């Protein structure tokens, strides 16, 4: 089938819930993807922050192949070794104490919400179920996650959603104080807002939020589905802030290409919240996906990847800062580590489309006006130079 036939076939059988670009990707190697006509694309989107090691990594593939041949699924009625190893590595890397594996980021959020509600139910009694979430946040598309996602047009068609949500403003501690009351069980925020437009939390803001949470026995949930797993230069972004959540959510790069997420809690939370019968999933923690998680943590060590990220970030930032200097319509660079955005006054969707179709450069958008860049963590200076050449050719067409 040629490209047009493939797309026609897709329209016949797939529910039209995405507006996809007219590109059919076939395989990948390193930081490049190849389409059905063998055109080569530089990937600065990583499948929305998933492909931390790029494509076709042999260590990763071999680990998955050997697990695939051994055992892929048993359910949570029994133990399996990859899940246990992955949980230990995630606890060690995050400083959290107990892990529950899910199949996606949204499911990690659902689990975090249920954990917080159960904790408050046990500690303070019924009715203490309110959650403070952030305007401009993104936590996923399931009903619970949607209820705490601070973008009206995602939520509105699906009302009524989960009850008891109050939205405060990110990096505005006064609005947090105004939102909490004696029924608040949790405050949830992204350490770095991703979909909302690449806003890192201020250090002072996070410190104060943690302090008020501790004071009032409110659980702090940090959603690091996008900003976690090394993207910002530490395994989890909160580790740069000198604070720690009560509940942490992760997914996207956790499995670096297989569907897996997790929420992790402190012992304090684990001892006073979910018990057998409260929560579950058929697939979650299956040996295939958790073998990937385990291998991902091993590869961070083997490649000294956090140090690589920290080494390469200044070059990436400088390159982006030059674009801000050079083009009037690029007004700001914003982000943390290899999670960066350029704020544009030209239509960002057009930029993303032109970059993809004319320059074979994969980028993402965020918010209304941000060109979002989530390159694989393994990028080098030459990749960044290639990115610069391509994006400059795109920007030049808007001059």
Ligand X SMILES: *Cc1c(COP(=O)(O)O)cnc(C)c1O
Q: Which residues bind ligand X (CB under 6 A)?
A: 104-106, 109, 138-140, 190, 194-195, 223, 225-226, 251-252
Residue closer to ligand X by CB (options 260, 313) is: 260
SS3 (DSSP) at 108: helix
> CA torsion sign, 102 to 133 to 237 to 376?
positive
SS3 (DSSP) at 84: helix
Tokens representing 22?
């007219």
Residue closer to ligand X by CB (options 104, 179) is: 104
For residues 9 and 357, the answer to whether their CB atoms sit within 8 Å is no
Residue closer to ligand X by CB (options 105, 197) is: 105
Residue closer to ligand X by CB (options 133, 313) is: 133
* DSSP states of 191-217: SEETTTT-EEPPHHHHHHHHHHHHHHT
371: which strand partners? Answer: 342, 365
Residue closer to ligand X by CB (options 102, 179) is: 102
Q: Give me the least distance between CB of 224 and ligand X, in Å please.
A: 7
SS3 (DSSP) at 264: strand
Q: Give me the least distance between CB of 398 and ligand X, in Å please.
A: 28
Q: Give me the least distance between CB of 261 and ligand X, in Å please.
A: 6
Q: Give me the least distance between CB of 259 and ligand X, in Å please.
A: 8
Cα(373)–Cα(363) distance, integer angstroms: 6
Estimate the crossing angle of helix 287-302 against helix 81-94, to 10 degrees.
40
Q: Give me the least distance between CB of 149 and ligand X, in Å please.
A: 8
For residues 376 and 51, the answer to whether their CB atoms sit within 8 Å is yes
Residues in contact with 210: Cβ distance below 8 Å, sequence separation at least 6, in sequence order = 220, 243, 244
Q: Give me the least distance between CB of 303 and ligand X, in Å please.
A: 24
Residue closer to ligand X by CB (options 192, 288) is: 192
Tokens representing 382?
């030459």
Cα(361)–Cα(45) distance, integer angstroms: 9
Tokens representing 318?
């400088």
Q: Give me the least distance between CB of 189 and ligand X, in Å please.
A: 10
DSSP state of 218: P
Rg value, the chain, Cα: 21
For residues 341 and 372, the answer to whether their CB atoms sit within 8 Å is yes
Residue among 375, 352, 378 at smallest CA distance from 365: 352
Residue closer to ligand X by CB (options 119, 138) is: 138
Residue closer to ligand X by CB (options 32, 245) is: 245
Residues in contact with 200: Cβ distance below 8 Å, sequence separation at least 6, in sequence order = 191, 192, 193, 232, 237, 334, 335, 336
DSSP state of 300: H
Residue closer to ligand X by CB (options 330, 370) is: 370
Q: Give me the least distance between CB of 140 and ligand X, in Å please.
A: 3
Residue closer to ligand X by CB (options 33, 109) is: 109
Q: Give me the least distance between CB of 102 and ligand X, in Å please.
A: 9
Judged on CB neighbours under 10 Å (0-12, 13-18, 19+), 253 is buried
Residue nearest to ligand X (CB): 105
Q: Give me the least distance between CB of 246 and ligand X, in Å please.
A: 17
């Amino acid at each position: 089938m040629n490209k047009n036939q493939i797309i026609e076939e897709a329209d016949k059988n797939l529910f039209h819930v995405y507006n996809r670009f007219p590109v059919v990707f076939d395989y990948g190697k390193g930081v490049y993807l190849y389409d059905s006509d063998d055109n080569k694309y530089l990937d600065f989107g990583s499948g929305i922050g998933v492909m931390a090691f790029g494509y076709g990594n042999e260590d990763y593939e071999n680990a998955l192949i050997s697990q695939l041949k051994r055992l892929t699924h048993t359910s949570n009625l029994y133990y399996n070794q990859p899940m246990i190893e992955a949980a230990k590595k995630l606890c060690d890397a995050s400083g959290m104490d107990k892990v529950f594996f899910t199949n996606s980021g949204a499911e990690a959020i659902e689990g975090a919400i249920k954990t917080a509600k159960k904790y408050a139910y046990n500690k303070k009694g019924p009715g203490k179920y309110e959650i403070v979430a952030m305007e401009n946040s993104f936590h996923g598309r399931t009903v619970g996650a949607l209820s705490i996602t601070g973008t009206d047009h995602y939520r509105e068609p699906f009302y009524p959603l989960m009850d008891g949500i109050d939205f405060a403003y990110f990096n505005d501690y006064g609005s947090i104080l105004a939102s909490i009351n004696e029924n608040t069980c949790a405050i949830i925020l992204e350490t770095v807002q991703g979909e909302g437009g690449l806003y890192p939390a201020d250090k002072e803001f996070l410190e104060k939020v943690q302090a008020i949470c501790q004071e009032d026995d409110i659980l702090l949930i940090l959603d690091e589905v996008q900003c976690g797993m090394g993207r910002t230069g530490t395994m989890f972004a909160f580790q740069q802030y000198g604070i720690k959540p009560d509940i942490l959510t992760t997914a996207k790069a956790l499995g670096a290409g297989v569907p897996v997420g997790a929420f992790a809690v402190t012992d304090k939370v684990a001892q006073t919240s979910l018990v057998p019968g409260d929560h579950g999933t058929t697939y979650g923690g299956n040996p295939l996906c958790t073998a990937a998680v385990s291998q991902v943590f091993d590869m961070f060590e083997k490649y000294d990847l956090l140090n690589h990220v920290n080494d390469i970030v200044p070059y990436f930032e400088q390159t982006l800062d030059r674009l801000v200097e050079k083009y009037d319509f690029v007004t700001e660079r914003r982000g943390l580590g290899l999670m960066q955005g350029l704020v544009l006054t030209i239509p960002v969707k057009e930029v993303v489309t032109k970059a993809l179709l004319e320059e074979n450069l994969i980028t993402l958008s965020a918010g209304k006006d941000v060109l979002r860049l989530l390159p694989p963590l393994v990028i080098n200076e030459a990749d960044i130079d290639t990115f610069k050449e391509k994006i400059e050719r795109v920007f030049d067409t808007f001059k």
